[in-house]
Structure 1
């Protein structure tokens, strides 16, 4: 089965992820990078997508689900890092700025 082109992948992902603007880049090694630009300047990028693994409608649906899963995990990681910053760290930083 033929590998989808950049525009076919962008169109298929855009249909599955309607709140995002999808911009894909093809690389010389046949991998793909996708940047999802959501509402309110929410951006997410994923690289190293092996296009040969995604053929047909079902595969694009799987790719869209994988991208969404990665985005959620990334956001959860960012939140937990923010929550782990202790109040003492903030106080010590303020003291250094004086």
Structure 2
């Protein structure tokens, strides 16, 4: 084992889709629930509708977020939920962040 092994640093385990700050915040918010209304996520993450829509589209394309549309009474609603693969990817991403934070203090 050498310290210069390619791919040995935990940063290689970061998920590029989740890593963007807004997407990370969205996924973290959704990880705490089975599903959440679009407006709740928007307000929690503090972004506009259009920003949230674009970021959710990226997460949905990656298979990490499921979008469900429906009605509450006569009002249209959109719900967001992490898929099983989204939960797995988020857990792995967080583990890589913890490894970097814990192991990255020395050297350089």
TM-score, reference length from structure 1:
0.36
Rg (Cα) greater in structure: 1
Quick one: higher RCO (CA 8 Å, sep 6+), 1 or 2?
2
